[in-house]
Structure 1
Amino acid sequence: MQALPRHHSIFLMILRRMRAPLILLILLMAVSVLGLTLAPGVDEHGNVHYLSFFHAFYFISYTATTIGFGEIPHSFSDQQRLWVIVSIYLSVVGWAYTLGSVFSLLSDRSLQQAIAMQRFVRAVRRLREPFYLVCGYGETGRLICSALDRMGLRSVVIEIDETKVGEIELHSFSADVPALCADASSPETLKYAGLTHPHCAGVIALTNEDATNLAIAIAARLLAPKLPALCRAEHRETSANMASFGTRHIINPFERFGETLALALHAPAASQLLDWLTGLPGSTVERRRDPPRGHWIVCGHGRFGRWMVDAMDAEALPVTIIDRELRPDSTHRWVQGDGTGANALKEADIMQATGIVAGTSSDVDNLSIAVTARELNPELFVILRQNQYANQALFDAFESDITVLPSEIIAHECLAILGTPLLVPFLREVRMRDESWCSTQLERLTARLGWTVPEIWSERINLKGAPALYRRLMRGETVTLDMLLRSPTDRTVPLDCEVLYLDRDDDDHLLMPAGNTSLRPGDELLLAGTRRARSDLGLGIGNEHTLAYLITGEDLPGGWIWLRLARRGRRSLKPILP
């Protein structure tokens, strides 16, 4: 990282602000000392005596600073005492002005920002482990930072809202999270935050402004082209602009849910399978009823509503749009209103509708729409948009079929990309499969692992991640998935996990590989299962003795001494064996 420019020097800033008070103090001190040396005094013998500059400076120093008072080296004359009175009042005026300037400086916002910047830059410079630069600490940023902290990864935050920056210290992160209140669209700020730091692992742009996220994406592309950049974009134009200069991961929450809804309408089993695989680990996913085909009503034709209408148009479903502004077209029926009242819903034929989307930017309006619609048509399939996480209790109280929270959609996708990059191509492959295949896989996986969202992780077969397995494969031994996915305590018991995807360097990718698939050095496996299964698999691929037991059933001695004794015992038994 580059050093801070000269204008960020706190010392120089203090000197500039305190220049006038310091000059005044020095001038008053000089006048007081000079006057005291010129005032005549009398010693013990009655002789005229003048103070030296040293004695005068010494006296004025401890008198003007209120440390004490004493007439040295002799008692003062009336002339000297008169000048001391003048000096004392001069020093009071000087110190009052100086202290006022100090208090004003300490409360100055520019100085506070400079101190915060210096502290932030030092904290970033001291990082010696991989970290992610998170731009924007709203609901999504908070979820991302908390998840990264649970994964043992560091994060650095830039947030323009000072209140949100203060909230970071209130959260119980296991490691310090350096945070700066600044505009993340500034390339200089991004460099201070570690964009060009050798340990920066990626940039995550999550601000509420598409223009800011676009600026971050451009800066990351030009200043750190090798870093992965995950950028939020809520407008199609911004997404296209980001894609034009090679942004790797562009996340539009409304577009993602539009794709999910289209998939749920076209292939319900595939949608349910993806929901089960990409949910929050440990949470339970209930088998929901499939979105019905028929007449739909979309309340609110903003960014979210447009994606919902596009998803239904792709499935050739009739849609009625309720919005405050009429923008009629030849394809859809329009009703003017907000959907919170029964009149607009009845005009949109709510009694004949099969589903409704409450997609306005107001949580109160969305809940009002959903409640009113359900009263008019209890069998209605309700998709409810939630804008603020703080209203979670209200949305939990209303049992919608699907609740859309954009911050969670973005957070889940970011974590999937960061935590298990192999999950992205796997999900792409699943979306291209037919409904019967997805239904079969969903029933098979949930029968083994239940409806609790499994833990998703990847294992690469190399010397660092799987040393025992890698050495055996390099020696030409054959190891299949069935051999490997066994309990290290009882090899007859299979592990509670499944291999979802096998990625190979020669582009030979396998989706849901069979158990008799032979492994090769360099393979990367995407797995879903329990945390216990993950731990057991890590032991099997990393420990030579555990792996030998899984493959051969032979329980080898664990230490050097026991190995020597076992070999000696086998040699002594050789003549006896037939």
Structure 2
Amino acid sequence: MSLQKRLLILSGLIALIFAGGTLGFYFLGNLAGGRPGLLDSLYQTTITLTTLGSREMKPLTELWYGKVFVIVLLFAGMGVLFVFATSLTAFLVEGELRHIFWRRKMDKLLEKLENHIIVCGAGATGTFVIEELLGSGHEVVIVDAQQERIERILEAHADKRIPYVLGNAADDEVLERAGVVRARGIVVVLPDERDNLFVTVTARQRNPRLRIITRSSDAQDEARLTRAGADVVINPSRIGGLRMASEMVRPQVVTFLDQMLRGQEQTLRIEELPLTAGCSMVGQALRDTNLRREAKLLVLAIRDASGQRTIYNPPPEQVLETGDTLIVLGPVDSVRRLRQKMR
């Protein structure tokens, strides 16, 4: 039985003992010839159980059944109060100790993370962001001021160890604990536009190489956030409008993309694979990489190092160069394994 449930049961027993003591003193007192009221009976019960007073309710306490009642009440009440006090102490101490150990364990986990993605805000939009990042196999750190939101996500992904920081993302210390200096990206989806701006400015100052994605529903705020250091500013109204138009004119394409992203049997994603100088695929023709046959990856496009030129549906004889980025479609696990080999 948990301490919380035990405390609830003991609280109920204490209430019953006080009620029983009050009624006992009231009826037995009147039976003994006294005229005690309910308040007098409650007062007598309280000083009896707490041993804080010596006042006796005469003539009841001079009669044998009055003495027996007081003894039974005292032993029963003191026993329950003692167990309640020890359980309450254990609850407070263990809860504090659990919090201390949790904090240390989480801090150690956060200190080890590198190239992770921080998501500030676990509301409706933030939850979708976290779901997609986890589904794509990325390391995610959740930052939110509400424990309930974080616990909801943790319960939905009980099989994963998801680090998080409980606190306001606009606090510099919270971002430091989340590892903003070592992160490769941050998604800012806080409900307050001013907090989004402040976190964007702070994150850019802490980590100039950080990729910052934030949200704004106002055109003026979009420009302000871009100047503050955001790489991309997402307007939910614009995205929603484009989605609705696509549902109208190209429903099969939208259905295909939805099934690809949310398929239960196999999770497919369109991912990007940057080719560094040490990658074994550099200098090879696309046909010789065996990406299609071995990794089950379809190369949709290739972007050069400058990002200015994109080759769509590249031919098999296309030679891969250092700095190229492959845009591929395939299973998440295949992309993850290939990334590990390319490191």
Q: Structure 2 length as normaliser, TM-score?
A: 0.57
1:519 is matched with 319
Say yes or no: does 1:503 pair with 2:303: yes
State the shift of 1:509 in Å: 2.0
Residues 485-505 of structure 1 show CA distances to partners (whole Å, capped at 9, x for unaligned) of: 68659xxxxx97643221112
Q: Which has the higher helix share?
A: 2
State how far apart, in whole Å, the 1-side matches of 2:232 and 2:130 are: 18
> What is the identity, as a one-letter code, of the residue corresponding to 2:193?
D
> Structure 1's 192 and 261: CA in aligned 2 closer, same or farther, altered over 3 A?
same
State how far apart, in whole Å, the 2-side matches of 1:109 and 1:235 are: 44
State the shift of 1:220 in Å: 0.8
> Structure 1's 487 and 227: CA in aligned 2 closer, same or farther, altered over 3 A?
closer
Does the 8 Å contact 1:158/1:180 carry over to 2? yes
State the shift of 1:242 in Å: 0.6
> Structure 1's 254 and 109: CA in aligned 2 closer, same or farther, altered over 3 A?
farther
> Structure 1's 189 and 113: CA in aligned 2 closer, same or farther, altered over 3 A?
farther
> Structure 1's 277 and 216: CA in aligned 2 closer, same or farther, altered over 3 A?
farther
State the shift of 1:261 in Å: 4.6
State how far apart, in whole Å, the 1-side matches of 2:333 and 2:146 are: 43
Say yes or no: does 1:171 pair with 2:156: yes
State how far apart, in whole Å, the 1-side matches of 2:245 and 2:150 are: 38
Q: Which runs of 5+ in 2 are unaligned?
A: 1-81
Q: Which runs of 5+ in 1 are unaligned?
A: 1-95, 285-451, 474-478, 490-494, 543-578
Superposition pairs of residues 223-372 of structure 1, within 5 angstroms: 223-261=206-244, 268=249, 273=253, 275=254, 279=258, 281=260, 283=262
Task: Describe the SS at the equivalent of 1:170.
Answer: helix
Identity over aligned pairs, percent? 16
State the shift of 1:462 in Å: 4.3
State the shift of 1:143 in Å: 3.4
Residues 532-551 of structure 1 show CA distances to partners (whole Å, capped at 9, x for unaligned) of: 9958x969x98xxxxxxxxx
Does the 8 Å contact 2:285/2:320 carry over to 1? no
State how far apart, in whole Å, the 1-side matches of 2:332 and 2:150 are: 37
Does the 8 Å contact 1:130/1:153 carry over to 2? no
Which residue of the other structure, out of 457, 469, 478, is the alignment partner of 2:271? 457
Superposition pairs of residues 186-225 of structure 1, within 5 angstroms: 186-196=171-181, 198=182, 200-225=183-208
Give the root-mean-square deviation of aligned CA atoms: 4.4
Does the 8 Å contact 1:105/1:111 carry over to 2? no
State how far apart, in whole Å, the 2-side matches of 1:167 and 1:486 are: 38
1:298 is matched with none
Does the 8 Å contact 1:149/1:173 carry over to 2? no
State the shift of 1:107 in Å: 7.6
Which residue of the other structure, out of 96, 121, 135, is the alignment partner of 1:136? 121
1:121 is matched with 107
| Count of aligned positions | 253
Task: Describe the SS at the equivalent of 1:153.
Answer: coil
> What is the identity, as a one-letter code, of the residue corresponding to 2:299?
V
State how far apart, in whole Å, the 1-side matches of 2:278 and 2:230 are: 30
> What is the identity, as a one-letter code, of the residue corresponding to 2:201?
I
Does the 8 Å contact 1:279/1:453 carry over to 2? no
Which residue of the other structure, out of 180, 185, 189, is the alignment partner of 2:165? 180
1:293 is matched with none
State the shift of 1:234 in Å: 2.9
